Structure 1
Amino acid sequence: MHRLARTVAATALATVLALVSGCGGSDSDAAAGADGTALEKVTYLTSFGNFGRDAYAWVAKDKGFFEEAGFDVEIKPGQGTGGVIQTVVSGQAQFGPIDLTGGLLQMGGGQAKDFVAVAAIQQRTMAAIATTEGKGIAAPKDLEGKRLADTPGSVVRNLFPTYARLTGMDASKVTWVNGDAQTLMGTLAGGSVDGIGQFVVGKPTVEAVTRKKAVLLPYSDVMPDLYGNVLITSTKIAEQKPEMVKRFAAALLKGLEYSLANSKEAAEILKRNVDTTNPAAAAAELDLMAAYVAPGGSGSAIGTLDSGRVARSIAILQGADALPQGMTPEQIIDFDLVPKA
């Protein structure tokens, strides 16, 4: 990160940790393990497979941030927004990151409920269509007549009709096929599809896998107000164990801040835990992600969520007929648990 962004992130994180450490009491079963007290077991899902963009969770575990906060964390690969929501709501995992816009679309469409966002991971969306040179795709309109792949619950896929409408593209002329988080890039490299749903930070990994220059069509070009990933938990956990949620979020954000400041080390930590990791590509993903976590000049502190900005995002989606009228930021975000600016 730029020096200013790092300073803002570190200051905000210190504030969060200070607040969290000062409010101990109601979750005595989740005390830190340094004094011999049993750690609370938690299952955490990554957002989408085990790429560099999700290395911060492994860093939080490896550097002892989770243990210091009182947690024994098992990290499992997620399969996009829809899959993470379903697994968290069902109780098979307690936490995981989803794209906030994807969560809004799922909630507004009635496909998901009983979850809340408790911290921001990225201050703007990283959703994009990824392809490579030679596919004849340089602008959204070029996607017409093409074949794209993504997981069914991915935010890129679910938000695509809105993206198409805002860019003047005919979404009905695009064919989508189902893919898996860990094999999507191989599908693109193999030539069976023309593009894939991807985050913009996936560019280095796309190039490493396909051995071609990547071409990205970022959704933020036409929807700049949209947040990126947010940390979610179930409504039940948020209501019953709020201090536990704050402690976990603070530890995870500490791992995020450390990873962005030490991307090469974070990539090596990921490699030690996930054999298939390409350390150079993973570090490059983290370097690219820094601008989305604390965008320069945005005034946004790490982890925070602004109600007014979320309301504007909802209005954008409602204007594109992607969300029903009447939705509010408070339906999807627990602002009592979100880190304060």
Structure 2
Amino acid sequence: MFRITRRFCMAVALCAASAMSVSAFAEPLQKIVLRTDYKFNGYVAPFALAVANGYYKQAGLDVSIEQGQGSGTTVQTVASGADDFGLSDASIAVLGITAQNIGVKLVSVYTQTATMGLIYRANSGFTGDLKQLQHKAVISSAGTADLRMLNPALASVGMSTDDVQLQIVDANARVPLFLKTDGAFLTGFATGDLLRIRSRMPDAKYMPYAKYGVVAYGTGLIASDDMLAKHPDVVRKFVDASRKGWEAAQRNPEAAIDASLKLYPDLNREFVAGGLKIALNEQLHTPATAGHPIGWTDEGDWKKMLDVLSKYAGVHNPKAPSAYYTNQFISQ
């Protein structure tokens, strides 16, 4: 009996020592901050699901998702290294890279079409003909991508913002102003402004700029030039784990919504669900990116977008498309 007990104790001791040894030499998870573009929208839910399902931890990353205060700010914090990765509207990132030589690049784009457009009342009589906007009130906010894309949409029918009654207000004031202004139109995002309005006005309508030939990628993942050069392995792991989150969200949207509420319990479930549904069902691909992995972008789309931005949105002398994006971290 003594021998059995002794052997048992020795075995336990060896197992404990082995566990301590493994623990001592195990690589610690690398802390990573993902900064959203603006608060928490439905298209952030797949990243929350990647956290909940352990995809980042499996890649050796300890990821926290922090809410942002606008694409312009997120571009700056990522470029400075204050945040490791960020979500930004592609056109805002392009403007910063071109005009200010900000050192970031888009490594995945998740909302690729019908992201921005015009929101209006069901009884407005608007049929989709932009000439109907002449002398009408159009509410927007300074510096936003949806305002920048209004001009090329209007240009498709020979108009400009001079032909409408443009009302520029703070981003937090535009939805309340629209709701109390009869006959007004609002420039906005399908996964944000439209859902906020429909929570108060369920029959509100939406017409994407894409209907008027405006090619503009939406929200994508940005990394700094420094991160891309010095830590390409981290970028690849993060992009791959994020893609798994999107694929899992396609299979089980409810799980992605649950994961979002676990991170931020004060979120409105219907708002997150509505934004995620639009992102998954309507915005994942353009005709040129269909059949490619989630996040992959097309050079031809970029050329069309840069042409629009250079003509109508203040992006002067744009660089080659490769200055703004890369597909090298997306597994085929």
Scaled to the shorter chain, the TM-score interval is 0.7 to 0.9
Relative to structure 2, which stretch is displaced further, 122-131 or 79-88?
Answer: 122-131
What whole-Å deviation, never above 9, does each CA across 1:165-224 have from its counterpart, x for those lacking one?
2343331331211214xx754554455994444322347723543133122121211235
Shift of 1:76: 1.5
CA distance in 2, matches of 1:141, 1:69: 52
User: Structure 1 pair 187/89, CA: closer, same or farther in 2 (3 Å)?
Assistant: farther
Q: Is the 8 A contact 1:208 1:281 kept in 2?
A: no
Q: Could you say what the CA RMSD is over the residues aligned between the two structures, in angstroms?
A: 3.0
1:128 equivalent to 2:117? Answer yes
1:332 equivalent to 2:306? Answer no
1:72 equivalent to 2:86? Answer no
User: Structure 1 pair 125/311, CA: closer, same or farther in 2 (3 Å)?
Assistant: same
Name the counterpart of 2:84. 94
What whole-Å deviation, never above 9, does each CA across 1:282-306 have from its counterpart, x for those lacking one?
2232222123214689333212122
**Structure 1 residues 102-181: aligned runs within 5 Å:** 102-108=92-98, 110-111=99-100, 113-134=102-123, 139=128, 140-143=130-133, 144-150=135-141, 152-172=142-162, 173=164, 174-180=166-172
CA distance in 2, matches of 1:196, 1:53: 21
CA distance in 1, matches of 2:176, 2:261: 19
Query: What TM-score do you get using the length of structure 1 for normalisation?
Result: 0.77
Shift of 1:89: 1.4
Please point out which of 284, 287, 312 is paired with 1:293. Answer: 284
Runs of 5+ unmatched residues, structure 1: 1-32
Query: What TM-score do you get using the length of structure 2 for normalisation?
Result: 0.79
Shift of 1:250: 0.9
Q: Is the 8 A contact 1:105 1:158 kept in 2?
A: no
User: Structure 1 pair 138/119, CA: closer, same or farther in 2 (3 Å)?
Assistant: same
CA distance in 1, matches of 2:84, 2:174: 26
CA distance in 1, matches of 2:106, 2:37: 14
Shift of 1:147: 4.5
CA distance in 2, matches of 1:103, 1:202: 19
Q: What letter corresponds to residue 215 of structure 1 in structure 2?
A: K
Q: What letter corresponds to residue 146 of structure 1 in structure 2?
A: A
User: Structure 1 pair 186/43, CA: closer, same or farther in 2 (3 Å)?
Assistant: farther
Relative to structure 2, which stretch is displaced further, 314-323 or 186-195?
Answer: 186-195
Larger radius of gyration between Structure 1 and Structure 2: 2
Count residues with an aligned counterpart: 303
Q: What letter corresponds to residue 272 of structure 2 in structure 1?
A: A
**Structure 1 residues 1-341: aligned runs within 5 Å:** 36-108=26-98, 110-111=99-100, 113-134=102-123, 139=128, 140-143=130-133, 144-150=135-141, 152-172=142-162, 173=164, 174-180=166-172, 185-186=175-176, 188-189=178-179, 191=181, 194-202=184-192, 205-223=195-213, 225-290=215-280, 291-294=282-285, 298-320=290-312, 322-325=314-317, 327-337=319-329, 339-341=330-332
CA distance in 2, matches of 1:60, 1:192: 42
User: Structure 1 pair 213/295, CA: closer, same or farther in 2 (3 Å)?
Assistant: same
Q: What letter corresponds to residue 76 of structure 1 in structure 2?
A: E
Identity of aligned residues (%): 21
CA distance in 1, matches of 2:93, 2:319: 12
Runs of 5+ unmatched residues, structure 2: 1-22
Q: What letter corresponds to residue 103 of structure 2 in structure 1?
A: D
User: Structure 1 pair 191/271, CA: closer, same or farther in 2 (3 Å)?
Assistant: farther
CA distance in 2, matches of 1:293, 1:317: 21
